[in-house]
């Protein structure tokens, strides 16, 4: 930003030759019940988005979630469904992805399983599903041609190197640079000079209460503008900086939340009766699903969060789960 302003040129001129004036950007959300994703999708439409990156998790019914959202969005609105490897392997991934293929709003899949664990299986999966599969960049994925595109992030030098390799193999990608307004604006500058930065970028800036800019980033029809003013071409809102300044020694809301006791119950109807597993922390049930100790992505599966009500029954159950390492 400073170099650009000192030289009177926009950041994109420091990075390369601008190829586009607007860059695609996606809405983002962690896993939620269907009705919450519906509300998020409706808000994204009000703010000009046309794509939604969804975190699919084995303790949620991804078919029910996507079907619910599809009812409130236009036909050209797309879901980018990110599994973070929770489908575990090619065979399990094939079952779920072929079901999702039937939803016309589903656009692509990210990391159905971690492809490096089985590049041959990844090629088979790619042949058996209709929508593109995207993975975080590795050179071996180019050599094995086992996915359709990439997620790319990092510093400017490494990103441009990786983007050049992806372009040489005609693989589109999205930039993943998470932050508020400054980071998102930088992503627009960087993406504007990369020929294959064609998929909707992920910056998560819509999650923040304030993007810390004097003028908000305008998203229209799923695209954000690339500024041509010197530097990043935006001005920081100093009043917002002062308002949101925090003491680094103070616990964050996340730390305060994690310090509270709760029971997390994963359940679904099965064979006429309800099956359930209980845990005391998200890390415990994540490990159980990654290990394949609990069936994932079952029809009707859901997560219930039971907060500490100070009752003796709650304390007894919580202590029993802790004793089991759950």
Q: Which helix (H) or strand (E) holds 317?
A: helix 312-323
Domain end (from 243, 263, 283): 243
Residue 53 lies in a domain: yes
Q: What's the CATH code of the domain at 20?
A: 3.20.20.120
Domain end (from 185, 211, 243): 243
The per-residue pLDDT for 88 is: 96
What predicted TM-score, i.e. pTM, was given to this entire model? 0.92
- Burial class for 41, CB neighbours closer than 10 Å (0-12, 13-18, 19+): buried
Phi, psi of 177, rounded to the nearest 5 degrees = -135, 100
Query: Do residues 261 and 174 share a domain?
Result: no
The per-residue pLDDT for 239 is: 96
Over the chain (326 residues), the average pLDDT of each successive run of 10 is 96 98 98 97 98 97 98 98 97 97 98 96 97 97 96 96 97 97 98 98 95 96 98 96 93 92 90 83 92 90 94 95 92
Q: How far apart are CA 194 and CA 124, in angstroms?
A: 30
**Residues of the domain holding 291:** 253-323
Q: How far apart are CA 69 and CA 38, in angstroms?
A: 5
Phi, psi of 273, rounded to the nearest 5 degrees = -140, 160
Residue 187 lies in a domain: yes
Residue 301 lies in a domain: yes
Position of tokens 């695209």?
Answer: 223
**Considering just the CA atoms, what is the radius of gyration of the chain in Å?**
22
Mapped onto helix, strand or coil, the DSSP state of residue 310 is coil
Domain end (from 195, 224, 243): 243
For the stretch 220-266, pLDDT in tens is 999 999 999 999 999 999 999 999 999 999 999 899 999 999 999 99
Q: How far apart are CA 2 and CA 23, in angstroms?
A: 23
Mapped onto helix, strand or coil, the DSSP state of residue 31 is coil
Position of tokens 């294959």?
Answer: 196
Query: Do residues 165 and 299 share a domain?
Result: no
The per-residue pLDDT for 272 is: 65
Q: Specify whether the CB–CB gap between 251 and 292 falls below 8 A.
A: no
Angle between helices 62-70 and 34-46 in degrees, nearest 10: 40
The per-residue pLDDT for 274 is: 74
Query: Do residues 271 and 301 share a domain?
Result: yes
Two tokens, residue 65: 């979630």
Q: How far apart are CA 176 and CA 116, in angstroms?
A: 20
Query: Do residues 44 and 136 share a domain?
Result: yes
Q: How far apart are CA 4 and CA 226, in angstroms?
A: 14
Categorise residue 32: left if φ over 0, alpha if ψ from -120 to 50, beta otherwise.
beta
Query: Do residues 306 and 226 share a domain?
Result: no
Query: Do residues 289 and 207 share a domain?
Result: no
Among residues 191, 197, 192, the alpha carbon closest in space to that of 172 is found at 197
Two tokens, residue 192: 């504007």
Q: How many domains does the chain have?
A: 2
Query: Do residues 77 and 190 share a domain?
Result: yes
The per-residue pLDDT for 203 is: 98
Phi, psi of 275, rounded to the nearest 5 degrees = -100, 145
Query: Do residues 116 and 149 share a domain?
Result: yes
Among residues 62, 69, 9, the alpha carbon closest in space to that of 40 is found at 69
Residue 81 lies in a domain: yes
Residue 248 lies in a domain: no
């Amino acid at each position: 930003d400073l170099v650009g302003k000192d030289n009177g040129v926009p950041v994109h001129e420091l990075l390369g030759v601008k190829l586009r004036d607007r860059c695609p950007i996606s809405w983002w959300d962690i896993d939620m019940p269907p009705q919450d994703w519906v509300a998020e999708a409706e808000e994204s439409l009000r703010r000009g988005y046309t794509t939604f990156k969804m975190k699919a998790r084995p303790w949620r019914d991804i078919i029910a979630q996507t079907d619910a959202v599809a009812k409130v969005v236009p036909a050209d609105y797309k879901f980018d469904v990110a599994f973070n490897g929770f489908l575990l392997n090619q065979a399990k991934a094939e079952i779920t992805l072929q079901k999702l293929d039937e939803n016309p709003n589903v656009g692509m899949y990210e990391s159905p399983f971690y492809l490096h664990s089985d590049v041959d299986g990844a090629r088979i999966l790619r042949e058996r599903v209709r929508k593109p599969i995207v993975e975080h960049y590795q050179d071996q994925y180019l050599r094995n041609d086992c996915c359709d595109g990439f997620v790319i992030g990092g510093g400017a030098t490494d990103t441009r190197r990786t983007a050049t390799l992806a372009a040489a193999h005609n693989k589109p990608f999205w930039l993943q640079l998470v932050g508020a307004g400054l980071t998102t604006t930088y992503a627009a500058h960087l993406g504007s000079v990369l020929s294959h930065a064609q998929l909707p970028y992920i910056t998560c800036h819509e999650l923040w209460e304030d993007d810390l800019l004097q003028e908000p980033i305008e998203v229209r029809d799923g695209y954000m503008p690339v500024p041509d003013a010197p530097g990043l071409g935006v001005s920081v809102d100093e009043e917002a900086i002062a308002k949101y300044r925090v003491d680094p020694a103070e616990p964050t809301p996340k730390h305060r939340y994690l310090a509270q006791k709760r029971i997390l119950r994963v359940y679904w109807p099965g064979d006429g009766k309800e099956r359930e597993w209980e845990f005391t922390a998200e890390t415990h049930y994540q490990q159980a699903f990654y290990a394949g100790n609990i069936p994932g992505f079952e029809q009707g599966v859901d997560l219930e969060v039971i907060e500490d009500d100070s009752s003796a029954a709650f304390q007894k159950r919580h202590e029993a789960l802790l004793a089991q390492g759950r």
